[in-house]
Amino acid sequence: MGAVRPQHREKQPVRRLLRRPESEAPDPAAEQETHPVSEYIIGGPGDNVEVQEWSDRKPARQHETWVGVYTLKDCYPVQETYVRNSSVTTSTRFFNLQLGISDPNVFIPPSTCQSARPERMAESDC
């Protein structure tokens, strides 16, 4: 049996908001142009998922800082990798995904926030 090849679609650049790992400071240039790199199938015969790999890489794979793999059908995340430099890489794999929010209470601020008063910060603190 021959290898299964994914159908190739026209690859067009897409602007996608790149999420950084929580341990990193927000990057003001986080919205970057990303491109589909390849499509392939993960899994085995009769139990597989077609995925598409995206990257912010420039021609000849230079200056790549992000690679994301998503299911082709519903765009579920499979893996995301962030490269800060040659020695620091963060990779996240997603599994057992469920639709919806399991605990919507996580979006309710704690009661201590209800009595908080805004304070003006000194410009030197910014």
Q: What is the pLDDT of residue 29?
A: 43
The token pair at 52 is 């598409």
Mean pLDDT by 10 residues, the chain (126 residues): 43 45 44 82 92 84 83 93 86 90 88 82 74
Q: What is the pLDDT of residue 126?
A: 61
Q: What is the pLDDT of residue 40?
A: 95
The radius of gyration of the chain from alpha carbons, rounded to an integer in Å, stands at 20
Is the CA virtual torsion 103, 26, 91, 41 positive or negative? positive
Q: Please choose, from the candidates 114, 37, 32, the residue with its C-alpha nearest in 3D space to the C-alpha of residue 65.
A: 32
Q: What is the pLDDT of residue 64?
A: 78
Q: What is the pLDDT of residue 1?
A: 42
Q: Which helix (DSSP H) or strand (DSSP E) does residue 16 occupy?
A: strand 14-17
Whole-model pTM: value is 0.56
Q: What is the pLDDT of residue 98?
A: 84
The token pair at 14 is 């897409």
Q: Is residue 92 helix, strand or coil? A: strand
